[in-house]
Amino acid sequence: MGILLPVFAFVLINTVVLYEQALDAADTAYDRTLLATAKSLGEQLRVTGSGDNVRVESTLLYSALEAFEADNRSRIFYRVNGLQGEMVSGFNDLPDWRRDLPQENLYAALVNFYDDEYRGVPVRMAVLLQPVSGVYEQGMATIQVAETLELRETLARQILIDTLWRQAALVIVIALVVVFVVQRATRPVRALSHALGMRTENDLTPLTTEGAPRELLPLLDATNQHMQRLSHLLEHQKRFVRDTSHQLRTPLAVLKTQVQSARRGDVSPEQALDEIGHTVDRATELANQMLALAKVEQLRQDGQAPVTEWSAVVRDVALDLSALIAERSLDFSIDTQVAPVPAHVWALRELSRNLLHNAIKNTPTGSALSVALVVDAHTAALTIRDEGPGISAALRERLFQPFATDQRSAPGVSGSGLGLAICREIVVSLAGGIELINRIQQGRVIGLDATVRLPLATHTPAA
C-alpha cells in the first residue's frame, strides 16, 4: 500500500493536468475553425459611400454559418463592426472587444482568441481585424465570432477517457506486480517470523541460512551471533547455579554436623566455635568467589571497559596482603612500571589479588616472593615469582578449571579451587593470556612463575 499510494496520487494529479492539456489542444484545433468563420464573414464585407457617408455592408446570411456548427452540439454567434465601431450585422448583445492584439500570434492574421461569456453561457471568442476597401474609402472592420464550448469539452473528455483507461490498466498492472513482488520478497521474512514464533523459550540454536535471500543474510548472521551470546550467557548461569548449589552443600552439611556435635557436647565449646568459625569462613570465601566468577561474565557483557592504571592496582593489592606476607616472613619485592590497560578496576584487583594470594599460600615460610610489572610496545606483563614446589604439567592445565584445588606440597594449604579459574576468566575477558611456568634448576623445580599479559590501552587514563 505504501508503494501504490504515490502511484494513485500521481495518476490523480496527472488526470487534472491532462484534462487541462486536452482543453488547450481542443482550443487550438477549434480556434482554426473560428478563424475560418471570421475570415468568411470578412470576405462578405464591402465599403460603400465616401466621406461622412462611408459605411460597411455585409451580404452574409446567418444560415451560412450553420456549416461551421459541428454536429449541432455547439452554436456560433457573430458580430461585425464597421470602420467607426458601428454595428454592421450579427448579434447586437454580443460583448464588444476591448482588448489588445497579442504580441505573438500563431496565425497569419490580426486575430485574438479569448474565453468569455454570452447570455450566461461560456463561449470561445475570436476577434479578427479585417481590412476592407471600396472605391473611395478603406479601413479596418472588426469581426467577432463566438462559439459555445460543448464540442471542445466533449473532445477533451474523450481524450481524457481514452487516456484514463490506459492509465487505469497500468495502475492495475503495477498493483498486481507490487503485490506479487512484495509477497514473494517477504515470504522468507514471514517464514523466519513463523520459525521464531514456533521456537520454545530455551531454543537458541542458530537459524539456518541455507536458501535465504542475500538481503537477509546480514540479519540472520547478526541474529545467530546474538543467540550464541545468549546461549553462552544462559549456559554460564546454569553452570553457576549448578556449581554453587553443589559446592555450598558441603560446607553447609559440615556446619550442620558441627552444630549438632556441639549440642551433644562431643567437643568443648571453644573448639566447636573454632570449627564452626572456620567452616563459615570457607563458605563465605566460596560464596564471594562464586559471585566474583559471575561478575566477570557480567563485565564481559558490558562491552568497552575504561582505561585503568594497572601498577597502582598491583601496589594496592600488595599493601592489602602485607599482613599475610609478614606472617610468613617472606622476602618480598615489588617492581612496577606504568601500565594503562582497558579493564575495570575490580577485574584487575581481583586478578592481582588471586594470583598474589595463591603465591603467598604456596610459598614456604621465609622464602622469596617477587612481583614485577613490565611494559613493552603493546602489552603489559605481570609476573609473580615464588619459591614454592611448582606444579606438574597435568595439574597446570587442570588448575584453570573451576573447583580444581591447588594441592601442592605446602602444608596446611587448602582452598575452594576457584581462584585460578577466576583469573583465567578475567584474562580471557580482557583479551589477554595467562600461564604457569615452573623454574627448574639442575633438574629440580625451585619455584613457579605466574605470568599474565594484557594489551595496553590506546590512550592514557584520565587524571
Query: Could you tell me the mean pLDDT of each successive run of 10 residues in the chain, 463 residues long?
Result: 73 79 78 84 79 71 54 77 82 83 74 89 89 75 88 80 82 83 78 80 78 78 83 71 65 81 82 84 71 66 80 94 92 94 88 90 92 93 91 70 49 52 83 89 89 84 49
Within-domain flag for 182: no
Q: If you search the block for the grid coordinates 550442620, which residue do you land on? A: 256
Within-domain flag for 338: yes
Number of compact structural domains in the chain:
3
Residue 3, phi then psi, degrees to nearest 5: -85, -35
Q: Are 295 and 287 in contact (CB under 8 A)?
A: no
Verify that 256 and 378 share a domain, yes or no: no
Within-domain flag for 372: yes
Residue 276, all three cell numbers: 564452626
Verify that 271 and 393 share a domain, yes or no: no
Residue 415, all three cell numbers: 582452598
Domain that holds residue 117: 4-158
pLDDT reported for residue 360: 92
Last residue of a domain, one of 127, 158, 189: 158
Verify that 242 and 254 share a domain, yes or no: yes
Q: Are 144 and 99 in contact (CB under 8 A)?
A: no
CB atoms within 10 A of CB 334: 17
pLDDT reported for residue 65: 58
Verify that 140 and 240 share a domain, yes or no: no
pLDDT reported for residue 417: 53
Within-domain flag for 168: no
DSSP letters spanning 39-83 = HHHHHTEEEE--GGG-EEEE---GGGGGGGSGGGTS-EEEEEE-T
Last residue of a domain, one of 265, 285, 300: 300
pLDDT reported for residue 373: 95
pLDDT reported for residue 369: 95
Verify that 370 and 324 share a domain, yes or no: yes
pLDDT reported for residue 135: 64
Verify that 110 and 247 share a domain, yes or no: no
Q: Are 94 and 118 in contact (CB under 8 A)?
A: yes
Verify that 335 and 287 share a domain, yes or no: no
Beta-sheet strand order (sheet of 433-441): 331-336, 368-375, 379-386, 444-455, 433-441
397: helix, coil or strand? helix
Last residue of a domain, one of 268, 284, 300: 300
Verify that 368 and 289 share a domain, yes or no: no
Name the strand (E) or helix (H) holding 42.
helix 4-43
Within-domain flag for 375: yes
Q: Which of 84, 221, 216 is nearest to 141 (CA)?
A: 84
Verify that 296 and 311 share a domain, yes or no: no
Within-domain flag for 88: yes
Measured distance CA(27)–CA(19) in Å, rounded: 12
Residues whose CB falls within 8 Å of the CB of residue 462, separated by 6 or more in sequence, listed in order: 307
Residue 377, all three cell numbers: 610496545
The four Cα atoms 261, 266, 271, 274 give a dihedral, to 10 degrees, of -10
DSSP letters spanning 174-242 = HHHHHHHHHHHHHHHHHHHHHHHHHS-TT--PPPP-TT--GGGHHHHHHHHHHHHHHHHHHHHHHHHHH
Verify that 374 and 236 share a domain, yes or no: no
CATH number (domain holding residue 360): 3.30.565.10
Q: If you search the block for the grid coordinates 550467557, which residue do you land on? A: 233
Verify that 399 and 352 share a domain, yes or no: yes
pLDDT reported for residue 301: 63
Residue 150, all three cell numbers: 460543448
Q: Are 456 and 382 in contact (CB under 8 A)?
A: no
Within-domain flag for 171: no
Verify that 425 and 451 share a domain, yes or no: yes
CATH number (domain holding residue 246): 1.10.287
Residue 6, all three cell numbers: 504515490
Cα angle at 448 between 443 and 452, to 5 degrees? 135
DSSP conformational letter for 300: H
pLDDT reported for residue 463: 45
pLDDT reported for residue 352: 92
Position 59: which residue type?
T
Measured distance CA(259)–CA(250) in Å, rounded: 14
pLDDT reported for residue 334: 95
Residue 114, phi then psi, degrees to nearest 5: -160, 165
Within-domain flag for 134: yes
